Amino acid sequence: TGADAAVVRVRRGDGSATLRCDRVLNTRNVVVDPYDDLLAEVPMLTGTTMTDDGRLVNVVDVDRMEDTR
C-alpha cells in the first residue's frame, strides 16, 4: 500500500497490461508447473513455480487477464 507499492507493465503483442504489486523482488525466467484439479479453475492463475529457497509462487496468466478486460 502507499509508497511501497510498485506498478509493473506487461506487454503482449501490440497490447499491454498494468499490474499493481506490493513489491517487485527481481525478474527471471522460470519453469511453470500448470495447476491440476482444484486450482485449475482459478481465473488468471496459470500454475506455480519454485523460488531459489524452495517456496512456491503463483504465476499470473497475462493472456487470461487481457481477455477479462
pLDDT at residue number 54? 92
- Dihedral sign, Cα of residue 39, residue 13, residue 26, residue 29: positive
pTM of the model: 0.56
Question: Tens digit of pLDDT per residue, the chain (69 long)?
Answer: 556 677 878 777 787 778 888 877 778 888 889 888 777 778 788 888 998 899 998 888 777 766 655
Residues 68/44, Cβ–Cβ less than 8 Å: yes
**How far from 20 is each of 23, 25, 31, 34, 39, CA to CA, in Å?**
9, 14, 23, 23, 23
Angle at the Cα of 12 from the Cα atoms of 48 and 24, rounded to 5 degrees? 50
